[in-house]
């Protein structure tokens, strides 16, 4: 693991996961799902519904990557996950309703500390997104998160979902930097682990106060929030 001082001397690009790291996915989707589920007469916990949805989406995207066939779009994986979750919850739905819920991912807003922290980081480094989202979804999201990233990269460029090594390698190639000149930032372990195993440095944003787990690919930096990362790296 490298210290923040050592990283300052070598990092050229700070690369971010978008869903759950830059934008508050859980809170945003719960706010959207709550009135939808109330209208459906479902009396369960909307937070649990969103957690089921996100876990199912993650599981299906990992299966898609491991099958190593033609890449399935994030939107399609998301629609499958929402449909499965509503089937599990016993909620009747239409195809249009599934499309609506997945489309709302494009409208998620940043965590409160993100805009200022990223503006500070951008004074020293290029700031870039590498997301599992589809290119058109990421383009639409710009109007909502309003962060002027130097580049927004979809894993569609690598034909696989993160944490496949090809996604991180392709992103570094696009930015024209070595793998070890990138600091990858994520609010979850799998992206930190994947980027570190691929040869990047990583920073774990531990907003949820959870253990990282036993792995040889530990993050270089472990911080409470994005402001703390900017304090260390600028």
Q: Where are the domains of the chain?
A: 4-24+109-233, 25-107
Enclosing H/E stretch for 152: strand 151-154
The domains spanning 4-24+109-233 and 25-107 adopt the same CATH topology: no
pLDDT tier at 97, thresholds 50, 70, 90: very high
- Residue 96 clears pLDDT 90, i.e. is over it: yes
Question: Do 23 and 109 form a contact (C-beta atoms < 8 A)?
Answer: yes
Q: How far is CA 214 from CA 3, 94, 149, 193, in A?
A: 20, 42, 32, 11
- Active-site pick, 9, 17, 191, 224: 17
29-62 confidence digits (pLDDT tens): 999 999 999 999 999 999 999 999 999 999 999 9
Cβ-Cβ contacts under 8 Å for 91 (sequence gap 6 or more)? 37, 40, 42
Catalytic site residue 180?
no
**68: number of Cβ within 10 Å:** 10
Average pLDDT over residues 149-174: 97
pLDDT digits (tens, 9 = 90+) for 176-212: 999 999 999 999 999 999 999 999 999 999 998 888 8
pLDDT tens digits, 103-141: 999 999 999 999 999 999 999 999 999 999 999 999 999
**Top CATH class, 4-24+109-233:** alpha beta
Mean of per-residue pLDDT scores for the chain:
96
pLDDT at position 187: 95
- Is residue 228 predicted with pLDDT exceeding 90? yes
Q: DSSP letter string over 13-73?
A: EEEE--BTTTB-HHHHHHHHHHHHHHHHT--S-HHHHHHHHHHHHHHHHHHHHHHTSSPPP
> What pLDDT does residue 232 have?
95
Task: Report whether pLDDT(85) > 90.
Answer: yes
**Which CATH number describes the domain made up of 25-107?**
1.10.150.240
> Is there a contact between 22 and 110 (Cβ–Cβ < 8 Å)?
yes
Over range 77-103, report the average pLDDT.
97
**Residue 152: per-residue pLDDT:** 98
Identify which has the larger pLDDT, 93 or 213. Answer: 93
How many percent of the chain have pLDDT more than 90?
91
């Amino acid at each position: 693991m490298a210290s923040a001082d050592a990283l300052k001397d070598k990092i050229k690009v700070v690369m971010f996961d978008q869903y759950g790291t830059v934008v508050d996915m859980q809170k945003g989707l719960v706010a959207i799902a709550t009135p939808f589920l109330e209208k459906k007469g479902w009396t369960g916990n909307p937070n649990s519904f969103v957690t089921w949805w996100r876990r199912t989406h993650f599981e299906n995207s990992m299966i898609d990557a491991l099958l190593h066939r033609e890449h399935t779009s994030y939107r399609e994986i998301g629609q499958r996950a929402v449909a499965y979750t509503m089937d599990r919850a016993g909620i009747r739905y239409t195809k249009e309703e599934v499309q609506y819920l997945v489309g709302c991912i494009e409208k998620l807003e940043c965590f409160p500390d993100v805009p200022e922290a990223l503006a500070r980081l951008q004074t020293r480094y290029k700031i870039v997104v590498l997301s599992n989202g589809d290119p058109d979804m990421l383009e639409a999201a710009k109007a909502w998160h309003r962060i002027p990233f130097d580049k927004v990269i979809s894993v569609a460029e690598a034909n696989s979902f993160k944490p496949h090594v090809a996604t991180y390698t392709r992103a570094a190639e696009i930015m024209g930097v070595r793998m070890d000149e990138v600091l990858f930032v994520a609010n979850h372990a799998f992206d930190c682990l994947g980027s570190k195993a691929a040869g990047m440095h990583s920073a774990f944003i531990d907003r949820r106060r959870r253990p990282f787990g036993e792995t040889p690919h530990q993050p270089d930096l472990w911080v409470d929030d994005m402001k703390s990362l900017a304090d260390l790296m600028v």
